[in-house]
Structure 1
C-alpha cells in the first residue's frame, strides 16, 4: 500500500514524513547516511578508493602517465578527472556517450580540484619543458541512490592520498626517461576538500539527499570546505533561491561534515599503511 502511494503521489508521500520532521528512510533532516571507505582496492591502479554513502557507491581509480608539458605551461603537469554513470548503477542511465549528469559531475570534480588546490600541477612537473605526469582520475558510480557529488569527492581525495608515483630519472646524454617502479613516493596533497550536499523543500533543508529527495526537491546545494574551514566552492544548479541565513547554516554543517570525513580518510589510510608495513 505504502509503495503504491509513494509511486502514485511521491510528493504527498514525502510531505507526510516532513510534517513529522523525519524522512522516508528513517533519518532526521540533518542526519547523514552511514559512510564507509576502502582504500587501495584496485591493485592495478596507482591509487584507488571505494566509498559507500548509504546505498550510493562510487569507486575512484588513479592512473599516471608520462607526457610532455604544454608550451604555455612548461612547468606544469595535468590532472584529468572523469565521472562515469554506467547503466549498471541505475536504470536512469543508458549506454552510450556521457550524459548531461555525468558531464556536470566531471566538471564539478574538475572545479573542486582547481578551486581547492588539492594538488598543485607544478608538483607534477619532472623536468621543465620536457617531462611531466598526467594524473587520470576515473570515478565510476557502481550504485546510484543520490548524492553522487559527495561520494565522488571523498573517493577522489582518498584515492589521491593513496597514489604512489614511481621514481623517474632522465639520462643527461639521451634525454630518455627511466622509470623505477620499485621506488615510489606519494603525491603531495596541499588541501583536503570535502563536499556536503543538501536539498531544499521550501524552507526545510535535508542533508545527504537520496535520489528520490533530489528529484522532488525545490533546490539543491553543494558546499565544499577544506581543513582550514575555508570555503572552496558553492555549487547550486538552479532551483529556488536560498537566504543568507540558510546558506550560513549549510556552511556550518559542511564544516562539521568535513571533520568527520577527514578523520575517516586518515583512519583508513593509516590502517592500510600499517597493513603494508
Structure 2
C-alpha cells in the first residue's frame, strides 16, 4: 500500500512523514545514514575500498601505471576517476554507455581531486620529465539508494589511503620505468574532503 501511495502521490507521501519529523525509512529529519568502510576489498588493485552509506554501495579500485609527467615543470602525475553505474544498482540503471549521472559524478570527482588538493601530484612523479604514476580510479555503484556522491568521495579517500606503490626508477639503458621493490610507498593525504547530500521539501 505504501509503495503504491508513494508512486501515485509522492508529495503527499513525503508530507505525511515530514509532518511527524521522520523520513520514510524511519530516520529523524537530521539523522544521517549509517556508514561502513572496508579497505583492501579488491586484492588485484593497488588500493581499494568498499563503502556503504545506508543501502548505497560503491566500490573503488585504483590501478597505478607508468606515464610521462605533466604539469608546468613536467613533475606531476595524474589521478583519473571513472564512475560506472551498474545496471543492477537501481531499476532506472541501464547497460551501455555511461549515463549522464555517471559522467557528472566522474567530473565531480575529478574536480574534487584538483580543488581539494587531496594529493600532491608532485608525489606521483618518479623522475622529472621522464616518468610518473597515473592512478586510474575505477568506481562501480552496486546499489543506489541516495547519497551516491557522498559514498563515492569516501571510497576515493579510503582507496587512496589504502594505496601502496612499488619503488620505481627509470632504467638508464632502456629509458623505461622499472619496479625495484615491493609495494611499500604510501602517499600522503593532504586533506580529507567530505560531501553531504540533502534535499529541500516545501521549505
Q: Which category of TM-score, normalised to the shorter sequence, fits these structures? A: over 0.9
Instruction: Specify the alignment match of 2:44 in structure 1.
Output: 44
- Secondary structure (helix, strand or coil) at the match of 1:66 reads strand
Query: Which structure has more RCO (C-alpha within 8 Å, separation ≥ 6)?
Result: 2
Q: Residues 66 and 177 of structure 2 are in contact (CA less than 8 Å); yes or no, is this contact kept in structure 1?
A: no
- Secondary structure (helix, strand or coil) at the match of 1:4 reads helix
> In structure 2, what is the Cα distance between the partners aligned to 1:113 and 1:70?
16
> In structure 1, what is the Cα distance between the partners aligned to 2:173 and 2:48?
36
Q: How many angstroms does 1:2 deviate by?
A: 2.2
- Secondary structure (helix, strand or coil) at the match of 2:103 reads helix
State yes or no: 1:185 paired with 2:164. no
String of CA shifts for 1:128-166, please: whole Å, max 9, x gaps. 111000001111100001110000000000000000011
- Secondary structure (helix, strand or coil) at the match of 1:196 reads coil
Instruction: Specify the alignment match of 2:148 in structure 1.
Output: 148
Instruction: Specify the alignment match of 1:120 in structure 2.
Output: 120
Alignment of 1:26-175 (within 5 A): 26-70=26-70, 72-175=72-175
Q: How many residues align?
A: 203
Q: How many angstroms does 1:73 deviate by?
A: 4.8
Alignment of 1:239-258 (within 5 A): none
Larger helix percent: 1
Alignment of 1:231-242 (within 5 A): none
* Structure 1: 4+ residue segments shifted above 6 A: none
Instruction: Specify the alignment match of 1:226 in structure 2.
Output: none
> In structure 1, what is the Cα distance between the partners aligned to 2:82 and 2:188?
21
Q: Residues 71 and 129 of structure 1 are in contact (CA less than 8 Å); yes or no, is this contact kept in structure 2?
A: no
User: Mind listing any 5+ residue stretches in structure 1 that lack a counterpart?
Assistant: 204-277
> In structure 2, what is the Cα distance between the partners aligned to 1:150 and 1:86?
17
